[in-house]
Amino acid sequence: MTAKRASFKNFKDSTAEDWQLIAAEYIEFAARLPQRVLDHLRLLEGDYGGFPVDRLEHCLQTATLAHRGGEDEEYVVCALLHDIGDTLGSYNHADVAAAILQPFISEENHWLIKHHQIFQGYDYFHHLGMDRNARDRFKDHPCYERTKRFCDLYDGPAFDPEFESLPLEFFEPMVKRVLASPKHGFLAQRD
Ligand SMILES: [Fe+2]
Ligand SMILES: [Fe+2]
């Protein structure tokens, strides 16, 4: 059976009936977002890039450390997904993760994810001839300490081949809950 589709060739000619059809499809599509995100995260498996553990294992270790550190569910999901942009954001992976998560998380966690790379740089930028203190430009920002803490406690230590991380399945229900419905943006559910 052929799926019913809108008939317009130009947005300008679209009708209310078209948009009812598209909106119904969109609701089902959006509901599958957590699964698509998890599938995309799995692309990091086996991708080492020279690091001691692959990128999926690094994400699992970061999330496991955050969970064991007593962080709340939203934070743990941010920790799990903070490097999901590595596949498509080769030059700005933090922006990719921040954009995916932005509708679902607090401004503080969004800022943390978006800036984690430049904060992490304190530990290695100088080995590459770059300024390890690049993060200093944010020293007066209210999220400076929060982001530094994420790098020091969770992201930075998450490269241990001996570490026993929790499996992705452990975090799946958390991802599904946090990404269930947007809190921000023009498509956020109205109270
Ligand atoms: Fe990162
Ligand atoms: Fe990381």
The band of 184, judged by pLDDT with boundaries at 50, 70 and 90, is: confident
Which residues lie closer than 8 Å to 117 by C-beta, 6 or more apart? 93, 94
How far out from the chain centre does Cα 100 lie? 6
Angstrom distance (rounded) from CA 82 to CA 114: 9
Residue 1 lies in a domain: no
Residue 13 lies in a domain: no
Q: Which ligand is nearest to the CA of 79?
A: 2
How is residue 129 annotated by DSSP? T
What are the pLDDT digits (tens) for 146-160? 999 999 999 999 999
What's the confidence (pLDDT) of residue 191?
43
User: How many domains does one find in the chain?
Assistant: 1
Angstrom distance (rounded) from CA 55 to CA 159: 9
- Inter-CA distances, 88 with 59, 94, 155, 158, 189, Å: 16, 11, 20, 21, 29
Residue 100 lies in a domain: yes
Residue 40 lies in a domain: yes
How far is the centre of ligand 1, averaged over its atoms, from the C-alpha of 94 (Å)? Answer: 6
What are the pLDDT digits (tens) for 122-136? 999 999 999 999 999
How far is the centre of ligand 1, averaged over its atoms, from the C-alpha of 29 (Å)? Answer: 28
Q: What percent of the chain has pLDDT over 90?
A: 93
How far is the centre of ligand 1, averaged over its atoms, from the C-alpha of 115 (Å)? Answer: 9
Residue 185 lies in a domain: no
Residue 41 lies in a domain: yes
pLDDT greater than 60 at residue 59: yes
164 three-state secondary structure: coil
CATH of the domain at 160: 1.10.3210.10
How far is the centre of ligand 2, averaged over its atoms, from the C-alpha of 155 (Å)? Answer: 5
Query: Domain range holding 163?
Result: 33-178
Angstrom distance (rounded) from CA 63 to CA 65: 5
